[in-house]
Amino acid sequence: MYRPLLFIVVPCYNEEEVLPVTSKMFLNKLLDLIKKEKIDEQSRILFVNDGSKDETWNIIVRLAKEDEHYIGISQSRNRGHQKAVLAGLMEAKDKCDITISIDCDGQDDINAMDQMVEEYLNGCEIVYGVRSDRSTDTWFKRTTAQGFYKFMSYMGVELVYNHADYRLVSSRVLDAFTDFKEVNLFLRGMFPLVGFKSTSVYYERHERIAGETHYPLSKMLSLAFDGITSLSVKPIRMIVGLGILISLISFIGVIWSVSVRLMGYSVDGWASTISTICFIGGIQLLCIGVIGEYIGKIYMEVKKRPRYIISERIGDIYENSPSTL
Ligand code: UDP
Ligand code: MG
């Protein structure tokens, strides 16, 4: 029977507190899947150190020396979660049949992997892990996340509701994904664009095992902004709509004031003139800001800077190549 070779891709940034615990959980799951003859024995857990400033990389090196199932790569500096996941997926692409990306903090239920692999064996090439219950998230995180998904769908971005970056992807999909060359990454919105047969697997989200989230409100807003601007031009269309609406209102206003004047009445109203100017000025600045955001994104894209740079690799599969590249 066909047993796909799996790479579990785990981005890690300053996770010295959780890694010793969750690495064991990942290994147990991997061995369990191997034992059940669901995946190939050469399957691996690939940690991506995202330029951590603590002991994370040293822990990964130690793990790789302890057990052959652990391997790791290190980014030359911190580049953020999305790029860390991408680095891991691209590293794994030619070495395995399927990848499952998962956060290293124990929040995503590893037991959903059984069903993910099952769905792959049934012919799905992308399997989205979807949180069926967010009660362990704070009220604030839950509400903002819900608002975010609603807003994204209003913006015309196709997203799988309540799916973050816990997903199974086949190497065939990853091959196609290499042609998505943007620097401004929003993976959960990009994978649906690749196509191929996909499905969702539901799981309960746990609490972080230890440590703290790296996504405070400011970073969440910036991720949402990146998501909108990288996947939708609807804000620019909305500006056009707003422009047409305001022009129409002004046109009616002009006709009204001229007619009133021609009828011999005086049109006074310093207050209304000033407030209209301020209102239009504010809207104009807002619109320029939105357009500027897109121009900024274009600027970043045309430079074509690398999205990740790997400085080190560790693990048995790299034994014949230098560990520092
Ligand atoms: N992460 C990363 N680089 C960063 C920030 C986070 O690789 O710059 C990793 C982090 O180690 C974790 C995952 O991305 O495995 C998700 O981060 P976190 O748990 O802080 O986010 P949350 O689950 O609270 O949204
Ligand atoms: Mg987390």
pLDDT at 48: 98
DSSP calls for 16-59: TTTHHHHHHHHHHHHHHHHHTTSS-TT-EEEEEE-S-SSSHHHH
User: Which ligand places an atom closest to the C-alpha of 50?
Assistant: 1
Q: What mean pLDDT do residues 264-278 have?
A: 82
Ligand 1 neighbour 206 (Cβ under 6 A)? no
3-state class (DSSP) for residue 107 = coil
pLDDT tens per residue across span 168-197:
999 999 999 999 999 988 899 999 999 999
| Ligand 2 centroid – CA 212 distance (Å) | 8
Token pair of 273, please?
Answer: 């003139």
Q: What mean pLDDT do residues 58-72 have?
A: 95
Q: Is 235 exposed, middle or buried (0-12, 13-18, 19+ CB in 10 A)?
A: middle
Ligand 1 neighbour 108 (Cβ under 6 A)? no
Prediction ipTM score: 0.96
pLDDT at 137: 72
Q: What mean pLDDT do residues 313-325 have?
A: 71
Ligand 1 neighbour 83 (Cβ under 6 A)? no
Residue 202, pLDDT > 90, answer: yes
pLDDT tens per residue across span 204-260:
888 888 888 887 778 878 888 888 888 888 888 888 898 899 888 988 988 888 888
Give the least confident one: 92-106, 145-159, 284-298. Answer: 145-159
| Ligand 2 centroid – CA 154 distance (Å) | 26
